Amino acid sequence: MRLLTHNMLASNIKGVTNGFPLRIEPEKIIEKPVDFNPDFLKNMFSKIDWKALADASKIMGYAELPDEVPEQTVVESDEFLRKFHHALLEVHLEEGALVCPETGRRFPVNKGIPNMLLHEDEV
Amino acid sequence: MPPRIAQIRLVSSHPQVYAPCDDSFALVDALLADRTKLLDHHPSICMEIGSGSGYVITSLALILGSESKNAHYFATDLNPHATEVTRQTLEAHGVHAELLTTNIASGLEKRLSGMVDLMVINPPYVPTPEDEVGSSGLSSAWAGGENGRSVIDKILPVADNLLSEKGWLYMLFLADNDPLQICLQMRDKGFGAKIIVQRSTEEETLHVIKFWRDPDIQIEGNEAVSGGKTAPQRGFDFLRSQISRLSFRETRQ
């Protein structure tokens, strides 16, 4: 699971109002190289929740992203885009869990695939 | 060189996962038929709901291929065996999609709302007793409840929520699902519709229909004010005639 996916996931349990972002409990982190594409990254930047990405990236062992939302001039820079690229697309949670921030319910991640299926009493 | 799609010998399998069949091939044929349009569309986020063996999402990633490096792929399935088999199929073809074991798109609906540029869906469309719908095993791939519409009718509003302004949806239906009624229902939500592939096998008549947000279509509640028929209205008349002709052919068989 890429951090882009983590950034798009929220707890889906019935009644939960603050289900984003899910807390990451990493057990195994891997890196997979992806072709660098500035246009895609600039497009995605506007859709990303920055704080969620920066925090998740840190938990995943990559602390190169600024805590504050970067200025537009910074976003255009190659140096920034390469870090953003790495955090967003190349760092994968292979094994571990995603935890609902409101209820503490754990969603397991196995072989890079989060399992968001709910029990009957959670739907 | 013809565009590459997933190769059957590289598609992974599992006893609890639906293997690629006529319906999967019809959906991929629709994507191939629209390949040039899809490349011009430059989808940023693509998604498949119910990826099963992974045949369709892998083919989509290969069809868009290196000419569309901008694309990021999501694939979901209710069946954990299916997401795992999809992962293996993608890997065997050297492409990547982000996978989620989830019901339709549960967990993504809030944050991914209005962001998906291209969606492909081969839903469980077979008419079955209602209590067979949504099991965790193989039958979840086809069991569609009354008229095969139970899951389809849950997916359509989710697709409407997730699709971006320029979003396209390619979805497969059986004649029994009443695709014309589905098109009219989607029209009320502002979607244009077009049949991309229609195919009759010995057992079933399949349609792959493309939906897109059409700004010329009046959303429900707004009465059309201009006189005469608008272009989308004519489009729907055409669609209606196509589908009724198909139904006619079916009844003769």
Cβ(B77)–Cβ(B50) below 8 Å: yes
Q: Which of A7, A8, A30 to mutate to test the interface with B (most CBs of B within 10 A)?
A: A8
| Interchain pair A113, B108: CB under 8 A | no
- pLDDT in the model for residue B135: 79
**Arch. (CATH architecture) of B8-252:** 3-Layer(aba) Sandwich (3.40)
Residue type, A91: V
What CATH code would you report for A3-116? 2.20.25.10
Query: Which value does ipTM take for this structure?
Result: 0.95
For chain A, give every domain's residue range.
3-116
Query: Could you tell me which chain B residue has the CA closest to the CA of A10?
Result: B107
Q: Which chain B residues are closer than 8 Å to A7 by Cβ?
A: 111
Distance CA B231, CA B134 (A): 39
Closest partner residue to A117 among B84, B102, B115, by Cβ? Answer: B102
- Among the partner-chain residues B69, B100, B112, the one whose CB lies closest to the CB of A116 is B100
Contact between B91 and B58 (Cβ < 8 Å): no
Partner-chain contact A111 B87, CB within 8 Å: yes
A-chain CB neighbours of B100 within 8 Å are 5, 9, 113-114, 116
Checking B32-41 for CB contacts under 8 A at 24+ apart, the result is B32/B3, B32/B5, B32/B63, B33/B196, B33/B197, B34/B170, B34/B196, B34/B210, B35/B3, B35/B63, B38/B63, B38/B64, B38/B68, B38/B118, B38/B168, B39/B64, B39/B67, B39/B68, B41/B117, B41/B118, B41/B166, B41/B168
Identify which of B27, B18, B23, B5 has the alpha carbon closest to the alpha carbon of residue B200.
B23
Cβ–Cβ below 8 Å for B101 and A49? no
Tens-digit pLDDT string for chain B (253 aa): 666 999 999 999 999 999 999 999 999 999 999 999 999 999 999 999 999 999 999 999 999 986 667 789 999 999 999 999 999 999 999 999 999 999 999 999 999 999 999 999 999 999 999 988 977 778 889 899 999 999 999 999 999 999 999 999 999 999 999 999 999 999 999 999 999 999 998 889 999 999 999 988 866 555 444 445 555 565 666 677 666 555 544 444 3
Domain ranges of chain B: 8-252
Give all strands of the β-sheet with A91-99 in edge-to-edge order.
Answer: A23-31, A91-99, A106-110, A113-114
pLDDT per position in chain A (123 positions), as tens? 999 999 999 999 999 999 999 999 999 999 999 999 999 999 999 999 999 999 999 999 999 999 999 999 999 999 999 999 999 999 999 999 999 999 999 999 999 999 999 998 998
